[in-house]
Structure 1
Amino acid sequence: MKLNNIEDVFFDLDHTLWDFDKNSALTFEYIFKLNSIEIDLSKFLEVYVPVNFKYWENYRKNLVSKEKLRYGRLKDSFEALSYNLSDKDIAKLSNDYILYLSEYNHLLEGGLEALDYLSDKYKLHIITNGFDEVQHKKMKNANILNYFETITTSEEAGVKKPHPTIFEMSLKKAKALPAKSVMIGDNYEADIEGAAAFGLHTIYFDYYNKSVYNNVLGLNNLKKINQFL
């Protein structure tokens, strides 16, 4: 099914274009060595990934602050593994993680091909709940910043997806119309429901192959984007 009359394509960044899981794992591997943390990385990630997911969910709902997210996800993970670290050490790891995360620049499979294909046909934009100081660096270091005409972050908007204000701000910056725009993202609530409620078309990027959502356009590999656009 091809979407007609589309002029602007809005992307989420993490888990949609930027390979968050791989880049995050490489960052932890580096900062653990840097700080002499002797822990099995795979066991740590097994605990950390769902903890981090839950913290981000609560952050979207304004239940935790940015600072609490950064600190709490590490503290909870180390405690679950019975690995004792002082608050000072956890704070150092939290800062190092943010400092070095954008140094890794792996994209998800098909991401670059999708951007090359779409950039010849549409105006491209980013809408992200990620932090200002990190998201721009990620795109710059991954050599994809030049593909996007506008970037809207939740910190800039003052609200997070799926709040309509962030979509309103992004479309205003892009000088785009909802009916002629499409949102592509991996988070069903934030990206798909949020964008659809504001009148945008949507394409659900099924990053984890959940395949549980009906009646929405979806794909699990960005190489297949030409099916819809």
Structure 2
Amino acid sequence: MDRKAVKAILFDLDNTLIETSRAGAVAIQKTSELLKTTLGLDNMTISSICDRFKQKLLHESFDPSAGRSIDEVRVDHWQESIQEAAAGSATPSLAAQCYYLWKNSRLEVLALSPEICNLLKELGSRYKLLLLTNGETQTQREKVEAVGCQEFFDAIVIGGEHAQQKPFVSIFTLCFSMLEVEAHHCVMVGDSLDTDIQGGFNAGVRATVWIHGAGDAAPEGSVRPDYTVPTVLDLPDVLAQLE
């Protein structure tokens, strides 16, 4: 048996298979319009509110054992952001409106393109495929459901459902076990050097593929991907080089 043969591919979800950043921008724009209509604030203040919300998301630490849902936590993000940027304007009902508009608008925009669906179908006929995504359980499950990608994968692993997420080796070991393959028969594909590429490197996969539309090299001092491509649609070219 060829020790170097690729048998399985692990895919990240956000900004690898789906354009989460673009969907987030659309959702923020719609929420900005709601704030402007409701509060009559100037554009600079509205921009400040939205930037504060995005920062709270970026640095979010969610503990499911604390007895609050992720929805409740993120409603609070909006209320705090409005209060900080426009003191006296925040109400729980407005914060909830902002959150659910942002959340639902983002989910509505998220989609697997026809080209990526075809790619996954073609790859699924030759390799085992697994979706490995970091993030809070409800949020990531809602994305998976919204884009309807379950049919393309042999297994789906949500980081928030486990003790450790990417780049820790333990979650990769779980994936290899689920697919009944060895690390050296797997390729890790994702847009994050810190989680996807570093995680694949830590776990000893056959190759790592960095999805990086900007086209520049990995920053000095960061983990080096084995391959860098602008879009996941270029993956077949990489796989051909590995065969």
Which letter does structure 2 place at the counterpart of 1:219?
A: V
Partner SS state of residue 5, structure 1:
coil
The runs of at least 4 consecutive aligned structure 1 residues that moved more than 6 Å come to: none
2:62 to 61, 65, 73: 65
Name which of structure 1's ranges 202-211 and 64-73 shifts more when overlaid on structure 2. Answer: 64-73
Tell me the matched-pair count: 219
Name which of structure 1's ranges 171-180 and 90-99 shifts more when overlaid on structure 2. Answer: 90-99
Q: Is the 8 A contact 2:168 2:202 kept in 1?
A: no
Q: Is the 8 A contact 2:197 2:225 kept in 1?
A: no
Aligned mates of 1:111, 1:79 — CA distance in 2 = 41
**TM-score in terms of structure 2 length:** 0.72
Q: What residue ranges of structure 1 are gaps of 5+ in the alignment? A: none
Partner SS state of residue 28, structure 2:
helix
Aligned mates of 2:6, 2:48 — CA distance in 1 = 39
Distance 1:219 1:132, change over 3 A: same
Q: Which residue does the alignment assign to 2:8?
A: 8
Q: C-alpha deviations, 1:96-153, integer Å up to 9, x for none?
A: 4335532323347953343233222111111111332233332333232210111111
- How far did residue 17 of structure 1 move? 0.6
Q: What residue ranges of structure 2 are gaps of 5+ in the alignment? A: 64-69
**TM-score in terms of structure 1 length:** 0.75
Aligned mates of 2:192, 2:77 — CA distance in 1 = 19
Aligned mates of 1:130, 1:191 — CA distance in 2 = 13
Q: Is the 8 A contact 1:22 1:106 kept in 2?
A: no
Q: Which residue does the alignment assign to 2:231?
A: 221
Aligned mates of 1:215, 1:136 — CA distance in 2 = 28
1:106 to 104, 111, 129: 111
1:117 to 115, 122, 128: 122
% identity of equivalent residues: 19
Higher RCO structure, 1 or 2 (CA under 8 Å, sep 6+): 1
Q: Which residue does the alignment assign to 2:218?
A: 212
Aligned mates of 1:110, 1:79 — CA distance in 2 = 43
